[in-house]
């Protein structure tokens, strides 16, 4: 019986190995340190988002406003219109409360890039933010970990942020 099983086992091992090699060759490649498939366009999008991330850490309000579309609109993710923010509201926030922040550490783990209608690009990510804000007795640090999504639109050779800042 052993002699009959040996050729069957060899064929099974050969076909299993062949399948593994083929599957590995067809597997998607990802941009390092992300869950995003590697492509030239996705690399450009991630580079733009990294520029945004650094601008947040540096509290570079002029750069952040330059990255935002004049059509920027954030609805706060609910039906309450009182927390909606357009470009002028974004500008007011960045030049006010945001500018008062003493220090920011902002890390992003990119999860997915999806294309939508009207050439919109959705960048889904998880962020970790640590920031020092003025307190009553001393500056206090706050920490946040959450999922977010930037909504982008292509703009000449770069992108503009439509929502998600």
How far apart are the C-alpha atoms of 27 and 22, rounded to whole Å? 9
pLDDT at 139: 72
Domains of the chain, start order: 35-163 (3.10.450.50)
How far apart are the C-alpha atoms of 43 and 49, rounded to whole Å? 10
pLDDT at 157: 83
* Closest CA relative to residue 43, chosen from 107, 108, 113, 109: 113
Backbone angles phi, psi at 70, to 5 degrees: -65, -15
Two tokens, residue 69: 């579309």
Mean pLDDT of 98-119: 94
Mean pLDDT of 51-76: 96
What are the tens digits of pLDDT across the range 6-53? 555 555 555 555 555 555 555 689 999 999 999 999 999 999 999 999
Query: Do 106 and 127 form a contact (C-beta atoms < 8 A)?
Result: yes
Tell me the average pLDDT of the chain: 86
pLDDT at 53: 98
């Amino acid at each position: 019986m052993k002699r009959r099983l040996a050729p069957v086992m060899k064929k099974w091992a050969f076909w299993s190995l062949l399948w593994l090699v083929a599957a590995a060759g067809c597997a998607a490649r990802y941009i390092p340190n992300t869950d995003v498939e590697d492509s030239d366009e996705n690399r450009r999008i991630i580079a733009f988002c990294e520029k945004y991330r650094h601008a947040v850490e540096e509290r570079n309000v002029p750069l952040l406003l330059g990255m935002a579309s004049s059509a920027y609109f954030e609805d706060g993710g609910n039906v309450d219109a009182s927390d909606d923010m357009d470009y002028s509201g974004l500008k007011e926030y960045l030049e006010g409360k945001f500018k008062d922040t003493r220090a920011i550490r902002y890390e992003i783990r990119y999860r997915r890039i999806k294309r939508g209608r009207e050439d919109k690009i959705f960048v889904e990510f998880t962020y970790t933010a640590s920031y020092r804000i003025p307190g009553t007795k001393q500056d206090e640090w706050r920490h946040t970990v959450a999922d977010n999504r930037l909504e982008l639109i292509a703009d000449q050779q770069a992108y503009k942020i439509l929502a998600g800042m």
